[in-house]
Amino acid sequence: MNIPTEQVGSIPRPVELILGMRAHAEGQLDDRGLQQLFQAALSDTIRRLELTGSPVITDGEQTKPSFATYPIAGSQQLSPDGVIIPFADGHTRQLPKITAGPFLYQAYADGYVNSARQLTKLPVKQAVISASALSLLYPAEGIEGYSRDQFIHDLLNEAEADIRRCLDAGAYNVQIDFTEARLSLKLDPSGGLLRSFIDLNNKVLDRFTEDERKRIGVHSCPGGDHDSTHSADVDYTELLPLLFQLKAGNFYLEYAGERNKRSVLESIAAHIQPGQRIFLGVIDVLSPKVETPEEIRDLILDAAGVISIEQLGTTDDCGFSPFADDISTSREMAFEKIKARIDGTRLAETALSKTSVYV
């Protein structure tokens, strides 16, 4: 009995890389020096992920400035005073906003796929940012000569290209980071904003065939940055009925950090559609405690009592370091937690296989 397991994405960067990125931004390190640090971090990340026994790996997002802004890094058509995202501990993150059109990506995620595939023979998964998240870059006051409709047209084309290029580059699958989903319900409890986000993302997904969508997934969590969240106080069951309207094959859902786990499982079981698979978060990336394989096994067995095992996989609640400067979780701990997920998933497979013999 096989239970697929994958990580969400980011791994904490080595301290020397974080310091190097800061020095580069301040003009104290040249491009060549930064690239050397990137390559060293990428190689070490992939090697250590292989050692965990993970059947599918990522590049750990070592060379991304953040999971959200990689496509626009370096653009000259940005202003820093965009949407502000508040977190429960009081800190904030602020998105930039565009100042002119047309909207074009400065980098596509297939570059990360190509770099990672040169260093491993294992399947490589790639995370991309959602069209809905990037839609927040358009300013509320508008842009003279570049309407929001024109922006959305360009955004859909670029978001499609980002996913398609990853698939064409040989990515095992592509994960759309949709962390703003739960936050949208906090901003608009009526669900109108979330519905608009889902509609926008479905316009991207509609451009892919059914077979291609089996290799495309969506990640949702209440945010995870500096051991804090932006929307964990929003009831998960308000999100899930709408989330499963996305035309994707896989869903990577935060779960280990949830308090009322039973209601989450029941909501998933009630709304998951045929052909969709749930990768349930069994690692709490915000907790300083490293889970044991036995604890993870038990989480999976509980879930398997509610969700069909044919539609169940495991993952981590969120990326460990979605922003490059987040050092709230150590690199060592992240790899220990990933190894625990792998081992716990295998324990659950064994337990379920033994049970099925007598069913």
Residue 96 included in any domain: yes
Residue 49 included in any domain: no
Distance of CA 169 to the CA centre of its chain: 19
With cut-offs at 50, 70 and 90, classify the pLDDT of residue 1. Answer: low
With cut-offs at 50, 70 and 90, classify the pLDDT of residue 359. Answer: very low
What's the mean pLDDT when you consider all of the chain?
93
Cβ 341 vs Cβ 316: under 8 Å: yes
- The answer, as to whether pTM is greater than 0.85, is yes
Report the distance separating Cα 50 and Cα 36, nearest Å: 21
pLDDT > 70 fraction of the chain, expressed in percent and rounded: 98
Residue 253 included in any domain: yes
State the pLDDT at residue 225.
Answer: 75
Residue 17 included in any domain: no
Amino acid identity of residue 24, one-letter, is H
DSSP 76: S
Mean pLDDT of 108-112: 97
Which positions ≥6 away from 210 have C-beta within 8 Å?
Answer: none
Report the distance separating Cα 267 and Cα 356, nearest Å: 25
CATH number at residue 262: 3.20.20.210
Cβ 277 vs Cβ 312: under 8 Å: yes
Domain count of the fold of the chain? 1
pLDDT digits (tens, 9 = 90+) for 300-324: 999 999 999 999 999 999 999 888 7
Which comes out higher in pLDDT, residue 228 or 144? 144
State the pLDDT at residue 356.
Answer: 61
State the pLDDT at residue 134.
Answer: 97
Residue 41 included in any domain: no
Q: Among candidates 228, 283, 225, 230, which has minimal Cα distance to 252?
A: 283
Residue 149 included in any domain: yes
What residues make up the domain containing 251? Answer: 56-357
